[in-house]
Structure 1
């Protein structure tokens, strides 16, 4: 469990409230923006366990959240099909904070300003734990995959190429 206040992000509070165990991993951001692969390496976590959070908007104007491995690319057609949309696109980065409450590099699938339909790439199904942003740049949380799915009210889906 997180032991000090700097790790008490909204995501961490939600995990605690739901009784889902988590472990905090920090990574160095002193050199500026760090992508997901670099964050995994810096924290010493196998990259296949680290998932990035992507926010999309469908033709319906509804927002959606996808969590996919940091080394993979989102397949927009698969995401659209999963969410029942004709077309789906990444939201502009300038809109991320307004929509989610999080900033680039610190967007977690847990604890956004509003609840959005969420999907986690099916590759997580075989992982005991998964690592996602804890909601702050430089801090990630490792949680049981089943706990992440429960906390984010997410489904598993084929989302990557």
Structure 2
């Protein structure tokens, strides 16, 4: 299993695993997951890495059907400005490949922001650490495990 799944098992967090066959031609990993699992896109969240003007990295978790607002992310993190992190840096820092970046068990622990819309659902889906694997869990469990802040990001 992936480091993300192993961590949740170790912490005895309630979650469900959902697998699907990833299509290499898919242009949006998150929307593909929502479609293949027959789940509303508002409940499937993508894990993004952003950096501030000092190149400090942060994790932003937002619905796959939304776009991260970098100004809101900067404000929530107490920074002047944010930008998307370089793909190679994101993979090296998290230990996961793009399209399979889980918020859990990343190589480096980073400050994490979760879009407040997650709190409107009983459960949400996040990457399980590889393409074609999603973890379903209560948003409060996600926040607790990651010591994250729930804020407006979209």
Which TM-score band (shorter chain)? Answer: over 0.9
Cα distance in 1, alignment partners of residues 40 and 13 from structure 2: 22
Cα distance in 1, alignment partners of residues 33 and 82 from structure 2: 27
Structure 1: gaps (5+ residues): 1-7
Contact 1:23/1:142 (8 A) holds in 2: yes
Contact 1:106/1:134 (8 A) holds in 2: yes
SS in 1 for 2:13: coil
Number of residue-to-residue matches in the alignment: 153
Alignment partner for residue 93 of structure 1, among 75, 87, 91?
Answer: 87
1:150 equivalent to 2:144? Answer yes
Cα distance in 2, alignment partners of residues 137 and 83 from structure 1: 28
Contact 2:52/2:74 (8 A) holds in 1: yes
SS in 2 for 1:106: coil
Cα distance in 1, alignment partners of residues 84 and 73 from structure 2: 11
List, as ranges, runs of 4+ consecutive aligned residues in structure 1 with deviation greater than 4 Å. none
Over the residues paired in the alignment, what is the CA RMSD in angstroms? 1.2
Normalising by structure 1, report the TM-score.
Answer: 0.90
Structure 2: gaps (5+ residues): none
